[in-house]
Structure 1
Amino acid sequence: MRTTAPIPRYAPDAHRHASAPPAPEQVEERSLTFEGFTYTCRIVHQSAPQTVPLVLLGGSSQNRFSWQGHEKWLSPLCTLVTVDLPGYGSSDFLPARYGMDFLAAAVRHMLVSIDMPQVNLFGGCFGEVVGLRFAQLHPEFVRRLVFCGAAKRLPEIYTDAVPRLSQALERGDVEGAAGGLVQLFMSNPGAGRVRKHAVVARLLHHQFMSQTPDELRKAVEHNTRLLAHGCYEPLPVPEVPTLVFTGEYDTLCTPQMGRELAATMPSARFTTVREADHLVTVERREESSELIGRFCADLPIDDLPYCTVLESPGAELIGATTCR
């Protein structure tokens, strides 16, 4: 315990309940165009930042507004950026022939356009796929990396489910697709105790049922894109502080998959969040915000009560190899 250290300016664990959503004047929306495709980013400005801006890249079913519930904990730390990349949210439709390199290039275009030469980068689920490719191809922009619900290979349950779900969406069976997607993203109730499991399942089902025809078309194209291009390339990763985490009961991108990804980055640390599954950032919004914020602010994350023991899979792999 650091009893003699000064109290840090950013201490989300001490100020959770005092935080407030950002004021309207802090929020800016920017419409941008990259290679003929128009897309939109949302910026929550912080006039007295403690670190570089934090870019949040969410999953395929999330958009630039999906992180508003996290803003009251993260916006005191730094400027926040969320984005509907081409092919997602309200942005232009993007044919599946455009892969991860294109989406990574779109992230770079955004950062150049809004004048952010270096950022902390969070990627959750599909956002990790884009975020990692961005870090590999454009490492000069990255100060720190945080990945959640991450994997270096497509889960078998995903590749098995995609044809059925895509066919259901194409024939207009949104109810059937919604039920299948909830089962895909959420753990089996018998796997272990997950906070807000029933509430989040209903929320997710409602979200899928409420999709517009444009959103359904993009969802089908997203699955086609991911299957066609894959989710990982063994390219160099910048040696920056990196954290990989997921829910302890994540059955889509399992903890072991997260460890495998973290092992490709020697400086990466890995942990799981207790009583959560793949949707950990929804089920434990406050705690996941604190974990992300503390890591980006260089505050200790070793003894957080809702996390399991921190691991260093990359360093452990190197050590095991050296001992042979």
Structure 2
Amino acid sequence: MDWFAVVPFVAEPSMRTSLTAAQDSPSTQRYGSVPPAPKQVEERSLVFEGFAYTCRIVHQDAPQTAPLVLLGGSSQNRYSWQGHERWLSPLCTLITVDLPGYGTSDFLPARYGIDFLAAAIKHMLVESGMPQVNLFGGCFGEVVGLRFAQLHPEFVRRIVFCGAAKRLPDIYTDAVPRLSHALGRGEIEAAADGLVQLFMSNPGAGKVRKHAAVARLLQQQFVNQTPDEIKKAVEHNTRLMMHGCYEPLPVPDVPSLVFTGEYDSLCTPQMGRELAETMPSALFTTVKEADHLVTVERRQESSDLIGRFCTDRPIDDLPYCNAVESLDAGLLACATHRR
């Protein structure tokens, strides 16, 4: 699971190229995709409360919906979503960010919690002149995105969360001491093995697209991390253990969707449902043949799902999803998303 990584899942440029090639097979079906549009890419260097950070904005001059903020896992950076741009950038302006403490931004001590990161998102939107956005949060990005939506609801038009939970999974809290100990002894390969097992489903659980290829890439990226990246990742785990990942605050009543891979063993589908039940009128679904790394394993399909929801197109009966559920007061029922 990206947001609980012991080290950040950040690819060097050559690794990102390899990952793109592994995912974009010519035989992949296209679900409502549109041709890429000319785009203007802007990198903005910002400072919040003394900490420097950077956001990346892919501008769309003829948007179909509000700008889309993509908050990835702790192990992702502002470039991790470039492979999704071919499907999402024609729809709207895209914003990705290395928040303080992540990616290439300044180191952030663990005493700064989730509220601080949520406030940094508000700072980024104010500085960028974006009064309202569609909000996507995957893995740890959901933790920060939910807190942002709770504390600053006036900025949020729609919410999409992926690989999400409102509690730290037991397998994470059990694994972190072992992995940290392995890192302390310099046993990077052993720690990498543990990380892959944490993030990815057991191969016997069910068919997962590109399971072996993604597992190899994840391990490769782990063993190639810099000391700075490892330091930030360890501080990230300390931050989560100190501050937790959820506060029972009101969630804005806006169109909301929670999804994950059907074989997600870290943030299980049931955990996603539990989170969706805290959100007014939320929908929930699972993507077929995927686990926690659904946005990596099924990049085109997850992009299509996000794009459809953010442009008010139906998401029921999609061939790559299981049934869409409406979660209202804890009652589950099949629903059609038409707004």
Structure 2 SS opposite 1:313: strand
Compute the displacement of 1:208 (Å).
Answer: 1.1
Percentage identity across paired residues of the two chains:
80
**Partner Cα distance (1:50, 1:74) in 2:** 11
Residue in 2 aligned with 1:137? Answer: 151
Is residue 43 of structure 1 aligned with residue 61 of structure 2?
Answer: no
Residue in 2 aligned with 1:152? Answer: 166
Q: Render the CA deviation track for 1:88-139: whole Å, top value 9, x for unaligned.
A: 0000000111100000000000000111010000000000000000000000
Question: Unaligned regions of 5+ residues in structure 1, if any?
Answer: 1-11, 320-324
Query: Are the counterparts in 2 of residues 146 and 242 from structure 1 also a CA contact under 8 Å?
Result: yes
How is 1:159-170 mapped onto 2 (pairs within 5 angstroms)? Answer: 159-170=173-184
Compute the displacement of 1:15 (Å).
Answer: 3.2
Compute the displacement of 1:35 (Å).
Answer: 0.5
Aligned residue identity for 2:32: A
Compute the displacement of 1:167 (Å).
Answer: 2.2
**Partner Cα distance (2:79, 2:33) in 1:** 23
**Partner Cα distance (1:178, 1:90) in 2:** 22
Is residue 70 of structure 1 aligned with residue 84 of structure 2?
Answer: yes
Query: Are the counterparts in 1 of residues 66 and 134 from structure 2 also a CA contact under 8 Å?
Result: yes
Change (3 A) 1:39 1:171: farther
Residue in 2 aligned with 1:5? Answer: none
**Partner Cα distance (1:190, 1:136) in 2:** 38
**Partner Cα distance (1:170, 1:43) in 2:** 37
**Partner Cα distance (1:67, 1:172) in 2:** 31
Query: Are the counterparts in 2 of residues 60 and 88 from structure 1 also a CA contact under 8 Å?
Result: yes
Query: Are the counterparts in 1 of residues 211 and 297 from structure 2 also a CA contact under 8 Å?
Result: yes
How is 1:18-167 mapped onto 2 (pairs within 5 angstroms)? Answer: 19-20=35-36, 23=38, 26-167=40-181
> What's the TM-score once normalised by structure 2's chain length?
0.87
Query: Are the counterparts in 1 of residues 254 and 280 from structure 2 also a CA contact under 8 Å?
Result: no
Structure 1 SS opposite 2:97: strand
- The match for 2:257 among 209, 228, 243 is 243
More RCO (CA 8 Å, sep 6+): 2
Which has the larger displacement, 305-314 or 171-180? Answer: 171-180
- The match for 1:13 among 31, 39, 47 is 31
How is 1:126-275 mapped onto 2 (pairs within 5 angstroms)? Answer: 126-275=140-289
C-alpha RMSD of the superposition: 1.4
Aligned residue identity for 1:233: E
Residue in 1 aligned with 2:14? Answer: none
Compute the displacement of 1:216 (Å).
Answer: 0.3
Aligned residue identity for 1:263: E
**Partner Cα distance (2:276, 2:288) in 1:** 19
Compute the displacement of 1:318 (Å).
Answer: 9.7
Compute the displacement of 1:75 (Å).
Answer: 0.1
Query: Are the counterparts in 2 of residues 270 and 313 from structure 1 also a CA contact under 8 Å?
Result: yes
Change (3 A) 1:315 1:86: same
- The match for 1:284 among 298, 302, 308 is 298
Which has the larger displacement, 125-134 or 167-176? Answer: 167-176
Aligned length: 304
Change (3 A) 1:99 1:302: same
Query: Are the counterparts in 1 of residues 46 and 52 from structure 2 also a CA contact under 8 Å?
Result: yes
Query: Are the counterparts in 1 of residues 262 and 269 from structure 2 also a CA contact under 8 Å?
Result: yes
Residue in 2 aligned with 1:8? Answer: none
Aligned residue identity for 1:124: G
Aligned residue identity for 1:15: S
Residue in 2 aligned with 1:6? Answer: none
Compute the displacement of 1:315 (Å).
Answer: 4.3
**Partner Cα distance (1:127, 1:135) in 2:** 12
**Partner Cα distance (1:158, 1:318) in 2:** 28
Q: Render the CA deviation track for 1:172-197: whole Å, top value 9, x for unaligned.
A: 32222211111100000001000000
Query: Are the counterparts in 2 of residues 169 and 220 from structure 1 also a CA contact under 8 Å?
Result: no
**Partner Cα distance (2:95, 2:174) in 1:** 34
- The match for 2:328 among 304, 314, 322 is 314
> What's the TM-score once normalised by structure 1's chain length?
0.91
Query: Are the counterparts in 2 of residues 263 and 312 from structure 1 also a CA contact under 8 Å?
Result: no
Q: Render the CA deviation track for 1:192-234: whole Å, top value 9, x for unaligned.
A: 0000000111111111111111000011011111111111000
**Partner Cα distance (2:124, 2:215) in 1:** 33
Structure 1 SS opposite 2:115: helix
**Partner Cα distance (2:200, 2:301) in 1:** 18
Aligned residue identity for 1:213: P
Query: Are the counterparts in 2 of residues 269 and 310 from structure 1 also a CA contact under 8 Å?
Result: yes
Q: Render the CA deviation track for 1:258-281: whole Å, top value 9, x for unaligned.
A: 000000112100000000000000
Question: Unaligned regions of 5+ residues in structure 2, if any?
Answer: 1-29, 334-339
